[in-house]
């Protein structure tokens, strides 16, 4: 089997090298150093930037039907804009049809499409503002069963409380992670969704424990210093909090306490980051909304940047 780096050795080497060099350079620039020192101000600046750059159809009240690259222009086959250092890659997976993504045409929903594609576009706007990185501007959904998955060192899976992986997806994700890949899980809530996710991830990585990631782990300091875990609410709950509605809260179902858990390999490399009882994707998707509180989008951006820098450099 190919390893992750062997799939594209030159691209992978320069992607990591460029990211680390860019991160160092970013710290030396006064404007970016200030943003790093006070990410709240950076989040406020991002809000204005996104309001200008995100297409109108993705804003509140607009139409944002999921897009898929045509087969002849898909990343990894033919890419008109050339090769980039980083691709924000969304995991495409089979689910149990009970999530909140878009309809699959068979009476169920495609959970992997939750917040898609608006959250992906806005994530890229923010990422390129906060760190210097040559990131592909387009969307990049890739099936867990696709051999091309190994081309992308970091993948993002949303609504994982509804995963129902096929045999091919289980083997594809296992090979990807064991070859050096990095999986970010997000936006699932409560014990029922945890149980569904746990059954599937244990099929992918049998025998590997799922543990709380301590705050002294490099994940929480690799770029921004994160001293506490914040529960990021969905957009509706966030607006209710901002508007001062009685009884407004951040949790969903019985997911009262946010967690950042992980799965490590035999060499203590973090392979999987599990953001449970929190919704980072909504914080990115609605970062331009003046009713979305900055405290949540700020935390979501800090953790996102840390996860990307960690995943690309380990």
CATH classification at residue 209? 3.40.50.12140
Question: Is the pTM of the predicted complex or chain greater than 0.85?
Answer: no
Q: Per-residue pLDDT for the chain (314 aa), expressed as one digit of tens each?
A: 333 443 333 233 333 333 433 343 333 334 445 445 556 666 666 666 666 655 555 554 444 444 444 433 344 433 445 689 999 999 999 998 776 655 554 444 689 999 999 999 999 988 998 898 899 988 999 999 999 999 999 999 999 999 999 999 999 999 999 999 999 999 999 999 999 999 999 999 999 999 999 999 999 999 999 999 999 999 999 999 999 999 999 999 999 999 999 999 999 999 999 999 999 999 999 988 989 999 999 999 999 999 999 999 98
CA distance 170 to 44: 40
Q: How far apart are CA 184 and CA 309, in angstroms?
A: 12
Q: CA 35 to CA 45: how far, in whole Å?
A: 9
Cα–Cα distance for residue pair 181/271, rounded to 1 Å? 7
Contact (CB, 8 A) for 143 and 149 = yes
Give the chain's count of helices (H) and strands (E).
10, 9
Phi, psi values for residue 28, rounded to 5°: -85, -20
Q: 276 - beta bridge partners?
A: 259
Q: Is 24 exposed, middle or buried (0-12, 13-18, 19+ CB in 10 A)?
A: exposed
Q: CA 299 to CA 13: how far, in whole Å?
A: 30
Question: Going by C-beta distance under 8 Å and a sequence separation of 6 or more, which residues neighbour residue 163?
Answer: 93, 94, 95, 96, 111, 157, 196, 197, 200
Please, which residues bridge with residue 264 across strands?
270
Q: Are 259 and 198 in contact (CB under 8 A)?
A: no
User: What residues make up the domain containing 212?
Assistant: 4-313
Helix (H, G, I), strand (E, B) or coil at 240: helix
Distance separating alpha carbons of residues 232 and 230, to the nearest angstrom: 6
Instruction: Give residue 311's region: left, alpha or beta (phi > 0; psi -120 to 50).
Output: alpha
Percent helix, strand, coil in the chain, to 5, is 45, 15, 40
> How many domains, in total, are found in the chain?
1
């Amino acid at each position: 089997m190919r390893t992750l780096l062997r799939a594209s050795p030159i691209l992978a080497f320069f992607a990591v090298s460029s990211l680390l060099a860019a991160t160092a350079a970013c710290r030396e620039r006064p404007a970016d150093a200030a943003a790093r020192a006070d990410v709240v101000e950076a989040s406020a600046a991002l809000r204005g930037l996104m309001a200008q750059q995100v297409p109108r159809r993705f804003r509140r009240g607009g139409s944002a039907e999921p897009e898929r690259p045509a087969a002849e222009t898909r990343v990894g086959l033919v890419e008109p804009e050339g090769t980039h250092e980083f691709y924000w890659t969304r995991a495409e997976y089979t689910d149990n049809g009970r999530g909140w993504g878009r309809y699959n045409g068979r009476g169920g929903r495609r959970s992997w499409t939750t917040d898609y594609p608006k959250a992906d576009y806005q994530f890229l706007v923010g990422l390129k503002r906060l760190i210097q990185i040559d990131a592909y501007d387009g969307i990049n959904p890739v099936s867990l069963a696709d051999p091309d998955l190994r081309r992308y060192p970091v993948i993002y899976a949303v609504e994982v409380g509804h995963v129902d992986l096929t045999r091919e997806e289980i083997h594809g994700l296992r090979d990807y992670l064991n070859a050096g890949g990095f999986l970010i899980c997000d936006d699932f809530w409560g014990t029922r969704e945890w149980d569904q996710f746990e059954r599937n991830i244990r099929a992918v990585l049998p025998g590997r424990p799922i543990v709380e990631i301590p705050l002294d782990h490099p994940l929480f300091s690799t770029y921004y210093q994160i001293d506490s875990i914040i529960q990021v609410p969905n957009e509706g709950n966030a607006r209710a909090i901002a508007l001062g509605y009685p009884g407004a809260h951040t949790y969903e179902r019985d997911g009262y306490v946010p967690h950042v858990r992980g799965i490590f390999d035999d060499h203590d490399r973090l392979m999987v980051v599990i953001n449970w009882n929190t919704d980072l994707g909504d914080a990115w998707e609605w970062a331009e909304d003046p009713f979305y509180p900055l405290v949540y989008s700020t935390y979501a951006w800090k953790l996102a940047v840390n996860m990307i820098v960690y995943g690309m450099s380990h």
